[in-house]
């Protein structure tokens, strides 16, 4: 039985240019920005009497076009997950602007139910996001019940959602502990797409899975994006996954971007020393290849005691005096390719 109409409507699609259709002209295929973030900051108070401030996210800006994926990478503690939660308003940002389909979502007060109908999240920990005492079918249909989109065809709707993520309908009456990790993660994906969001935050969605199941997860997300026009913010520390999933990449370090650009430019011509170090740590499948290791010095500094100037300079092998004094400005490397480094240049990035 087909999925009921509430499950087929896709809020993420943007209207086409009807005037162009009426005149017989070609409709522009330029992707509009579904998500636009400007100068986003999230600071947490800490310590006795809340006198210490942790700058988890410190003034970042980016856009995600409709039907595209932005991959956000960086070490643990860089602020990636905080960005995703701020966009969904699971936590409130300290300041900044967030636009969804051209509307300022931070201006919305009170109930965010209409917003949540169009923006969803896939959590890293599928176990933690599922209630162990509730059967799969009830957890699968919970978003539809919350948003009052369930029209009575309960088992048929659940079976269609299970089929959409390549799971047997026989699993619906089981409890979460009776499923494998990959099956639980697929349930999480099915829940996220059940109300047809236009935007999904995938926060380390495949981190706890083996390589085979990871590949299946990526294929599933790409297929759903192709079929439904979903935009993703894919958060991960796994660079091979980001290379496969993302159209553009943003590299974060201690709450700030250090480099952004198209996926092929970031992986083929990394400009920032931090990006170069991350990529050099990725093992090669070529047994004869001997890549030069760009080792990072020390551990990521505590956000409670941030460094002056460039936050990366204590670990950077190319740092100069200016790096410890002045925060680097955004520098243009190439088309849609930017880096925040005092010494980066177009020539060095190309090399």
Among 33-42, 101-110, 257-266, which stretch is predicted with the lowest mean pLDDT? 101-110
DSSP structural state of residue 344: -
**CA distances from residue 180 to 167, 208, 305 in whole angstroms, order as listed:** 12, 11, 41
The reported pLDDT for the residue numbered 24 is 36
Q: Which of the four pLDDT bands, split at 50, 70 and 90, describes residue 290?
A: low
Lowest-pLDDT range, 29-33, 119-123, 271-275? 29-33
pLDDT above 70: residue 22: no
C-alpha torsion 213→218→224→230, nearest 10: 140
Q: Given a cut of 90, is residue 91 above it in pLDDT? A: yes
- Over residues 167-186, the pLDDT tens digits come to 999 999 999 999 988 889 88
Q: Which of 347, 344, 317, 348 is nearest to 330 (CA)?
A: 344
Return d(Cα 185, Cα 207) in angstroms, integer.
10
Percent of the chain with pLDDT over 70: 85
Q: Distance between CA atoms of 313 and 307, rounded to whole angstroms? A: 8
- Model confidence at 12: pLDDT above 50: no
Q: What is the pLDDT of residue 319?
A: 86
- Whole-number Å distance between alpha carbons of 347 and 351: 6
Report the pLDDT value the prediction gives residue 28, as an integer from 0 to 100. 29
Q: Which of 6-15, 137-146, 250-259, 280-289 is predicted most confidently?
A: 250-259
Q: What sections of the chain are H helices per DSSP?
A: 5-8, 18-22, 80-87, 113-116, 136-140, 142-146, 154-164, 181-193, 211-228, 239-245, 263-268, 273-280, 346-350
Lowest mean pLDDT among 1-15, 44-58, 114-128: 1-15
Q: How high does pLDDT run on average in the chain?
A: 83
When mean pLDDT is compared over 29-43, 83-97, 281-295, the highest value belongs to 83-97
Q: Are 34 and 221 in contact (CB under 8 A)?
A: no
Q: pLDDT tens-digit profile of 221-279?
A: 999 899 999 999 999 999 999 999 999 999 999 999 999 999 999 999 999 999 999 99
State residue 86's pLDDT score. Answer: 96
For position 293, what pLDDT does the model report?
A: 66
pLDDT at 8 over 50: no
Q: Tell me what pLDDT residue 330 has.
A: 93
pLDDT digits (tens, 9 = 90+) for 39-78: 999 999 876 666 778 899 999 999 999 999 999 999 888 9
- Alpha-carbon span 276 to 193, nearest angstrom: 35
* DSSP state string for 246-276: -SEEEEEETTEEEEEEEHHHHHHS--SHHHH
Mean pLDDT for 181-196 is: 89
Can you tell me the mean pLDDT for 289-306? Answer: 71
């Amino acid at each position: 039985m087909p999925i009921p109409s509430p499950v087929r409507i896709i809020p993420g699609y943007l209207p086409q240019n009807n005037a162009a259709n009426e005149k017989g002209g070609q409709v522009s295929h330029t992707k509009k920005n579904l998500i636009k973030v400007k100068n986003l900051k999230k600071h947490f108070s800490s310590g006795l009497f809340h006198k210490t401030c942790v700058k988890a996210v410190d003034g970042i800006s980016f856009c995600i076009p409709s039907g595209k994926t932005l991959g956000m990478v960086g070490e643990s503690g860089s602020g990636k997950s905080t960005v995703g939660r701020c966009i969904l308003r699971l936590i409130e940002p300290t300041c900044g602007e967030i636009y969804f389909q051209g509307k300022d979502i931070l201006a919305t007060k009170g109930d965010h139910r209409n917003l949540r109908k169009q923006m969803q999240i896939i959590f890293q920990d599928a176990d933690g996001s599922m209630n162990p005492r509730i059967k799969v079918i009830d957890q699968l249909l919970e978003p539809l019940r919350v948003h009052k989109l369930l029209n009575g065809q309960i088992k048929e709707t659940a079976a269609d959602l299970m089929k959409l993520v390549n799971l047997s309908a026989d699993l619906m009456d089981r409890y979460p502990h009776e499923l494998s990790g990959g099956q639980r993660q697929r349930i999480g994906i099915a829940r996220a797409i059940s109300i047809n969001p236009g935007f999904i935050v995938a926060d380390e969605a495949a981190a706890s899975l083996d390589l085979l199941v990871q590949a299946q997860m990526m294929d599933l997300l790409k297929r759903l994006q192709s079929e439904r026009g979903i935009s993703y913010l894919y958060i991960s520390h796994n660079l091979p996954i980001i290379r496969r999933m993302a159209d553009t990449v943003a590299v974060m370090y201690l709450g700030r971007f250090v480099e952004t650009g198209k996926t092929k430019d970031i992986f083929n011509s990394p400009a920032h020393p931090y990006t170069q170090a991350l990529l050099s740590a990725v093992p090669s499948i070529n047994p004869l290849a001997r890549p030069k290791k760009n080792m990072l010095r020390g551990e990521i500094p505590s956000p409670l005691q941030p460094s002056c100037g460039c936050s990366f300079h204590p670990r950077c092998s190319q740092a100069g005096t200016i790096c410890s004094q002045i925060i680097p400005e955004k520098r243009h490397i190439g088309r849609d390719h930017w880096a925040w480094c005092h010494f980066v240049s177009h020539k060095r990035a190309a090399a």
